[in-house]
Chain A
Amino acid sequence: MKRLIRHFIFALALGLVLSACVFSNANVNLAYKPVEGSKSPLSTVKPLKIALVVEDQRPIAERESIGNKRNGYGSVTAQVKSNSDVLTVFSDALKTELGNNGHTVVADKEPLYDVMLRVQLKRYWTDSVIHFWDVELVGTINSDFVLGKRDGDKPILSQPGQGTFRESRQFVTDSAYENVLNGALSEFVRNFSRDPNIIKALQQAGQTATPM
């Protein structure tokens, strides 16, 4: 009997220790890791001076954190927080990709740019969905791209962009949130740099650009 009680107390304590993780926020390191030496179709566009403007248009409720932590019953128990500024990480990722493909990113205040790329960030979020066998962790980044010769001109292109990364897991640890969010950022940048409409619009802008 004593042995049974000891086992019960041990199981209870273990359960409490494990479930405690669910109630504390996950602090993650967001980062974009480009593939070394990799070029995208952006490199086929004549080198441009691009004024990159990134605007935060996420819902107010989604600016303090970047995801939900849930318990086994699907209830939100804590938040996923970024250790760094989300907008800076996001903007730097796009700058890196444009730079790696031969383009120069300049400030929008600089008068001599060839094209202005306005990126309106709509969502940067991770959440989980509980399925019968597993927990699906989803990282999502949504934005709108507006590409034009000058601010205020009729845009050459205006379309949404997205990056989604999904992982199926049996156990969700804090590093899992970091993994799906960074996966979503990689997918977002990959989709941006391989989007036929964006490539076409940049080529169009390049035709009338001033030589560098």
Chain B
Amino acid sequence: MIHALRISLAIIALSLLASCTPTTGTKIAVNQSEISKIKSIGVLVKKDEDFSVRLSREEMSNTGAAFGLIGVGIEAAVRRSSDKDKEEQIKPSLGNFDPQAPLTERLRFHLQEGAIATSEVTDGGEKTAADAILEVTVRQWGLRRCPGPAPEVVQAGFNVNGKLYRASGHATVWEREELYLNGDCRPWSMFRSEELANDILPRALDALATKLVYEILYP
């Protein structure tokens, strides 16, 4: 009985500790004196998942919640399936597009514009001669629902985690969850063209890279 009570208390304590977790914005703000010491940055871009469409999932209506937790699960599954269908229709126009290489290139370009020497590093960055590593993990990328009453309208979006850490010791000096949306809203079916891979996504990646570099250089 006492054991069960302890477990219950532990669960309550854990849920209280887990409450109020921001999932966007700056988690660790860079210190101006810290950034002035960093003269060279190694850039490492990782990717968690492939192209996705988040249209129906962004419209979670709370209808499922009326039927309890199982209802929430069912609604989420139905919406995921609807998004998956659209993904499959758009994927052929993407060709071999992968955001990792262009984002690495654009980050290096904009850091160099900010008078910081850059290099490309492989996973871990142990062998780099740079002062710090900028590790950007693309958590989710693709097309996201646009705000407003118009249904089925999406824009290019990248949800990334950016982290700058010292190459020696790996102490994190900056971390941010960035949700970049390019604002070019169109019906989802209009993205079934080569323009997506040749123009829309590369431009969005350039703007994202600029934004991330600005976040570091202007804390």
B214 close to A165 (CB less than 8 A): no
Contact with A along B198-214 (1 / 0, CB 8 A): 00000000110011001
Check A130–B62 contact: CB distance below 8 A: yes
Q: Which B residues lie within 8 Å of A129 (CB)?
A: 60, 62
The reply to whether the CB of B72 lies closer than 8 angstroms to some CB of chain A is yes
The segment from B63-71, B96-104, B167-175 that touches chain A is B63-71
A72 at interface by CB-CB < 8 Å: yes
Contacting pair A165 B215 (CB below 8 A): no
Measured CB to CB, the nearest residue on chain A to B20 is: A169
Which residue of chain A lies nearest to B177 when distances are taken between CB atoms in the complex?
A: A166
Query: Which residues of chain B are within 8 angstroms of A210 by Cβ–Cβ distance?
Result: none
Interface: B25 (CB within 8 A): yes
Q: How far is the CA of A160 from the CA of B64 in the complex (A)?
A: 31
* Alpha-carbon gap, A131 to B64, bound state (A): 10
Query: In the complex, what residue of chain B is closest to A179 when comparing beta carbons?
Result: B20
Query: Which residue of B63, B147, B215, B217 is within 8 Å of A123 (Cβ)?
Result: B147
B19/A169 in contact, CB under 8 A:
yes
A167 and B185 alpha carbons, distance in the complex (Å): 25
A123 to B210, CA, bound (A): 26
Which residues of A approach B to under 8 Å, CB–CB? 35, 38-41, 43, 59, 70, 72-75, 122-123, 128-132, 134, 136, 140, 142, 159-162, 164-171, 176, 179, 183, 186-187, 191, 194-197
User: Which residue from B179, B210, B219 sits with its C-beta under 8 Å from A196?
Assistant: B210
Chain B residues contacting A131 (CB-CB under 8 Å) are 72
A165 to B185, CA, bound (A): 21
B183 contacts A162, C-beta separation under 8 Å:
yes
The smallest beta-carbon distance between B101 and chain A, in angstroms, is 20
Q: Establish whether residues A167 and B147, one from each chain, have CB atoms under 8 Å apart when the complex forms.
A: no
Decide if A161 touches B22 in the complex (CB within 8 Å): no
* CB pair B65 A132 closer than 8 Å: no
**A195 and B21 contact, Cβ closer than 8 Å, known pairs A75-B66, A130-B72:** no
Quick check: A164 and B69 within 8 Å, CB to CB? no
Q: Is the CB of A170 within 8 A of B16?
A: yes
Task: Tell me which of A122, A169, A171, A176 contacts B147 (CB under 8 A).
Answer: A122
**How many angstroms from the CA of A63 to the CA of B15 in the assembled complex?**
35
Q: Given B19, B183, B217, which contacts A160 in the complex, CB threshold below 8 Å?
A: B183
Residues of A within 8 A of B62 (CB): 70, 73-75, 128-130
Shortest CB-to-CB span from A26 to chain B, Å, is 16
Neighbouring B residues of A140 by C-beta, 8 Å: 147
Could you tell me the distance between the alpha carbons of A33 and B28 in the complex, rounded to whole angstroms? 17
Can you list 7 contacts pairing A with B, beta carbon distance less than 8 Å? A40-B214, A43-B218, A59-B149, A128-B62, A170-B19, A179-B20, A194-B211
* Chain B 145-189 near chain A by CB (<8 Å), digits 1 or 0: 001110000000000000000000000000000010101010000
Q: Identify 4 new A-B residue pairs, CB closer than 8 A, beyond the known A39-B218, A43-B218.
A: A130-B65, A136-B23, A164-B179, A169-B20
**CA A123 to CA B147, docked complex, whole Å:** 9
Q: Please state if B19 and A132 are interface contacts (CB–CB under 8 Å).
A: no
Decide yes or no whether B18 CB sits under 8 A from chain A.
yes
Task: Judge whether A176 and B20 touch: CB under 8 Å.
Answer: yes
1/0 per residue B40-83: CB within 8 Å of A? Answer: 00000000000000000000111111100100110000000000
**Complex: A128 Cα to B219 Cα, angstroms:** 30
Bound-state Cα–Cα, A179 to B25, Å: 13
By beta carbon, the residue of chain A nearest B17 is A170
Which A residues lie within 8 Å of B211 (CB)? 191, 194-196
B24 at the interface (CB under 8 A from A): yes
CB <8 Å contact, A167 and B21: yes
Across the interface, name the chain A residue whose C-beta is closest to B181.
A162
What CA separation (Å) do A113 and B193 show in the bound complex?
A: 42
The answer to whether A187 touches B19 (Cβ under 8 A) is no
**A194 vs B219: C-alpha distance when bound (angstroms):** 10
| Cβ-defined contact, B147 with A41, below 8 A | no
Determine the chain A residues whose CB is within 8 A of the CB of B63 once the complex forms: 74
